């Protein structure tokens, strides 16, 4: 059997006792025509393959170049060198794929993250991205594991949709109409009746509204899929295509929602800490080395592993939007005009710098803000009854994390039909467009809640990567859709 092999990660965990094994992988380096550093992607650690002098032909040795793929069969023996406990003494070597070492973009040296984004199809082969994407996999698996253990139903909500859950209007249009001769109606508007779906459709910004339909039948559901935002935001925090986890739960209020979100975040971080320790240690050292280049006041107070342990072992700080505004308004940071966007008072929408001040400077741990002004939140959020005069709020909550700001956004949903209809009319959402959504309030409405977690921001938080483009395989950003 061709693929009768052992992965290098499994092999390195064994004790060398003269076992005969077969490994396959890619050459990282080849020294002195004798020592091959072989890697198969299962770990950052290489296996040292020892080629006995004179045992292989000259033509084969010339083909052992950086990134060439190979199959090696031989005996595992204790290593005589430093840095590894075993060597594979090669008996048979087969080159599976040649690589021109002079043209190969990833030479055995340190490359900048900016350069690696330009060759995103190859950057998985580096230690940094090997660790990042193994951790990403672990987090994705932990997400499904968490919700499965709690009895949630996994739902696939549509990617092509006619609704705009966020009300932002920044959506990618989906159409089969010809661009050069787009049909128009009597008013000069695009005639979407002639389009594939017979109406205007877009790529989804959220599966929440459809998820609520499932929650009002199954009790608890979650979605985990791609979402799209046509925002022209060319920053280290934004992507045009990203993944979202969106649970929706019947018979939940805002406090239940916050409790679940906190438990969820701690669960998936704990899973990565327990199952990807080696990768996280590598990424922690990488981050520490990177921060040595920064001024002292720009460095993190805790290392990556310390930060993750701190999140696991401490409850998240909870406070209202109103209290948060007062804290920032009275802060020295605001009084000394260090915010790019000054704190103007109650009702303002918070910027990333305001969120990060709370978690990184004031509380120094994750924070859950709740009870936001109704005017800056979506139509479906439950309107609070006990509001201060002139300060109507909704039962919304955001979780803010050190280093990246908002990581979770959620709310208790408005289950009262009349309240929901009034709010939709107030902001100009036609009731007939969401008749199916309103039906859940007509037939057995219940208190319910949910939240959305941006998966890439979660991966950023756990891996310590500072640019969101470095935690997704093929980043989609303004002006960039290669690979």
Same domain, 135 and 175: no
Nearest CA to 324 out of 354, 303, 304 is that of 354
DSSP code string of 299-314: S-SS-HHHHHHHHHHS
Residue 345: inside a domain: yes
Confidence of residue 340 (pLDDT cuts 50, 70, 90): confident
Residue 388: inside a domain: yes
Same domain, 331 and 215: yes
Residue 443 has pLDDT above 90, yes or no: yes
Confidence of residue 341 (pLDDT cuts 50, 70, 90): confident
pLDDT tens for each residue of 46-98:
999 999 988 899 999 999 999 999 999 999 999 987 778 999 999 999 999 99
DSSP code string of 203-268: E-S-SHHHHHHHHHHHSEEEEEEEEE------STT--SEEEEEEEEEET--HHHHHHHHHHHHHHH
Mean pLDDT, the chain, integer: 93
Asked whether 95 and 70 are in contact (CB, 8 A), the reply is: yes
Residue 475: inside a domain: no
**How confident is the model at residue 163, as a pLDDT?**
81
Q: What CATH number is attached to the domain comprising 327?
A: 3.30.930.10
**How confident is the model at residue 361, as a pLDDT?**
86
Confidence of residue 202 (pLDDT cuts 50, 70, 90): very high
pLDDT tens for each residue of 208-257:
999 999 999 999 999 999 999 998 888 888 899 999 999 999 999 999 99
Residue 165 has pLDDT above 70, yes or no: no
Same domain, 337 and 190: no
Q: Which residue has the higher pLDDT, 167 or 481?
A: 481
Tell me the three state secondary structure of residue 198. Answer: coil
Region 308-327: mean pLDDT is 93
Residue 281 has pLDDT above 80, yes or no: yes
**How many domains does the chain contain in total?**
3
**In the chain, % of residues over pLDDT 70:** 99
Confidence of residue 167 (pLDDT cuts 50, 70, 90): low
Same domain, 359 and 410: yes
**How confident is the model at residue 458, as a pLDDT?**
96
Residue where one domain finishes, among candidates 179, 204, 229: 204
Region 297-317: mean pLDDT is 89
Asked whether 339 and 353 are in contact (CB, 8 A), the reply is: yes
Q: Which domain holds residue 90?
A: 8-109
Q: Which residue has the higher pLDDT, 27 or 296?
A: 27
**How confident is the model at residue 169, as a pLDDT?**
57
**How confident is the model at residue 4, as a pLDDT?**
87
Residue 118: inside a domain: no
Q: Residue 168 contacts by C-beta under 8 Å, 6 or more apart in sequence?
A: 205, 229
**How confident is the model at residue 168, as a pLDDT?**
53
Same domain, 22 and 85: yes
Same domain, 393 and 251: yes
Confidence of residue 404 (pLDDT cuts 50, 70, 90): confident
Residue 477: inside a domain: no
């Amino acid at each position: 059997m061709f693929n009768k092999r052992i992965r290098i990660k499994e092999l390195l965990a064994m004790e060398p006792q003269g076992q005969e094994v077969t490994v396959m992988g890619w050459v990282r380096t080849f020294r002195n025509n004798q020592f091959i550093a072989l890697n198969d992607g299962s770990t950052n650690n290489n296996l040292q393959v020892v080629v006995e002098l004179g045992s292989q032909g000259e033509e084969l040795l010339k083909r052992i170049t950086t990134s060439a793929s190979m199959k090696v069969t031989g005996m595992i023996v204790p290593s005589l060198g430093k840095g590894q406990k075993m060597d594979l003494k090669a008996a048979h070597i087969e080159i599976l794929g040649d690589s021109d070492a002079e043209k190969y973009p990833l030479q055995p040296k340190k490359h900048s993250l900016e350069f690696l984004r330009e060759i995103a199809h190859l950057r998985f082969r580096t230690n940094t991205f090997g660790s990042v994407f193994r951790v990403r996999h672990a987090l994705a698996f932990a997400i499904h594991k968490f919700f499965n253990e709690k009895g949630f139903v996994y739902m696939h909500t549509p990617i092509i949709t006619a609704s705009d859950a966020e009300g932002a209007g920044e959506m990618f249009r989906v159409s089969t109409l010809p661009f050069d001769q787009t049909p128009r109606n009597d008013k000069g508007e695009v005639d979407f009746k002639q389009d594939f779906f017979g109406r205007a459709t877009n790529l989804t910004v959220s599966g929440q509204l459809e998820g609520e339909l499932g929650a009002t039948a199954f009790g608890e559901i979650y979605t985990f899929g791609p979402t799209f935002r046509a925002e022209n935001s060319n920053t280290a925090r934004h992507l045009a295509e990203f993944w979202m986890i969106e649970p929706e739960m019947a018979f939940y209020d805002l406090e239940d929602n916050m409790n679940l979100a906190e438990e969820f975040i701690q669960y998936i971080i704990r899973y990565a800490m327990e199952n990807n320790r080696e990768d996280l240690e590598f990424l922690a050292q990488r981050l520490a080395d990177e921060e040595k280049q920064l001024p002292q006041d720009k460095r993190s107070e805790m290392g990556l592993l310390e930060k993750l342990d701190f999140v696991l072992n401490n409850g998240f700080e909870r406070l209202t939007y109103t209290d948060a505004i007062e804290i920032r308004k009275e802060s020295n940071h605001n009084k000394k005009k260090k915010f790019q966007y000054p704190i103007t008072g109650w009702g303002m929408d918070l910027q990333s710098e305001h969120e990060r001040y709370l978690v990184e400077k004031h509380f120094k741990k994750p924070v859950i803000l709740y009870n936001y002004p109704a005017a800056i939140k979506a139509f479906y959020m439950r309107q609070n009854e006990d509001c201060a005069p002139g300060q109507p709020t909704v039962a919304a909550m955001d979780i803010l994390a050190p280093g990246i700001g908002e990581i979770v956004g959620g709310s208790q949903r408005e289950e009262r039909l009349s309240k929901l209809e009034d709010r939709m009319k107030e902001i100009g959402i036609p009731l007939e467009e969401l008749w199916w959504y309103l039906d859940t309030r007509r037939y057995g409405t219940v208190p319910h809640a949910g939240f959305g977690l941006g998966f890439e921001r979660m991966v950023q938080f756990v891996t310590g990567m500072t640019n969101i483009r470095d935690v997704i395989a093929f980043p989609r950003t303004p002006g960039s859709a290669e690979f």
